[in-house]
Amino acid sequence: MNETERLTVGAGLTLLLFLTPAFVLHTSPRFPGSLTGSILGIAAAILMVLLLVYPLAKYSTRLKPHMARLVSLRSLLAFHVYAGILGALLGILHTGHKYQSLLGIALVVMMLTVVVTGFVGRYYLPQVSAELREQQSRLATLRSAFDQTAVALAGRPAASEVAPPLRAPALPGVPILQLVDGIADLEYAIGSRDAVKAVFMRWIVVHVVSAVVMYVLLALHVAGQLYYGLRWLS
């Protein structure tokens, strides 16, 4: 995972989440139907449709060989991520913060759900997994040190009870009580992180379902605009 890509997408997502409730400060009821608003809406719709290129290239047995010759899946995934963020931003701008239509509100909610769950699957879960592996490695080191200390304690004579506090052979300078505290803290942290990871592992289900609903709502929204006419043409 590219750090620059993660920071860029994270900044875009933050901007999107702050921009969405901006209706408390600004609203423009006529903007969505204006020329500028329509251009933003059309651009957002095109980007949302182009998001389908990545799953088609990845899962379609017919298209995958042809797409592989043109562009790599890694590049398509990067485009998928950036197009999703940019399309959502353009979509929010297109609304003019006029959240009066139930269809429009549902479309915005589904669009944000798609973007957030995509961010979770692309960036958050890999980071959690990496941190989890690091904590498990540290826990294994501490347990090894504790086991070696326990063996040393079992083999010492009774006179050693008056000796200075024992140190763990594997981690010199670390008292045994500190080892116990460290093991307990890591076990609690790993358990909590495992629980969070188990919840977010369902991201792909929510992502796919919300994407399907979003495309249905988008089609209805576009059909409605065409049926009632484009105001800026008249």
Question: Distance (Å, rounded) from C-alpha 97 to C-alpha 20?
Answer: 7
Question: Distance (Å, rounded) from C-alpha 88 to C-alpha 12?
Answer: 10
CA-wise closest residue to 80 among 112, 109, 108, 114: 114
Question: Distance (Å, rounded) from C-alpha 24 to C-alpha 210?
Answer: 26
Please tell me what DSSP assigns to residue 120.
I
CA-wise closest residue to 45 among 215, 228, 206, 229: 215
**Averaged confidence pLDDT in the chain:** 82
Least trusted range by pLDDT, from 14-23, 119-128, 164-173: 164-173
Question: Distance (Å, rounded) from C-alpha 86 to C-alpha 186?
Answer: 39
Of the pLDDT bands very low, low, confident and very high (cuts 50, 70, 90), residue 114 is very high
Indicate the SS3 state at residue 171.
strand
Task: Count the neighbouring beta carbons within 10 Å of the beta carbon of residue 120.
Answer: 18
DSSP H helices in 53-202: 53-59, 63-70, 73-95, 102-119, 125-155, 176-200
The 8 Å CB, 24+ separation contacts for 75-79 are 77/122, 78/5, 79/50, 79/53, 79/54
DSSP secondary structure letters along 125-163: HHHHHHHHHHHHHHHHHHHHHHHHHHHHHHHS-GGGGGS
What is the per-residue pLDDT across 28-56, written as a single tens digit (0 to 9) for each?
A: 888 887 888 889 999 999 999 999 999 98
What is the per-residue pLDDT across 130-158, written as a single tens digit (0 to 9) for each?
A: 888 888 888 888 888 888 877 776 665 54
Question: Distance (Å, rounded) from C-alpha 175 to C-alpha 167?
Answer: 5
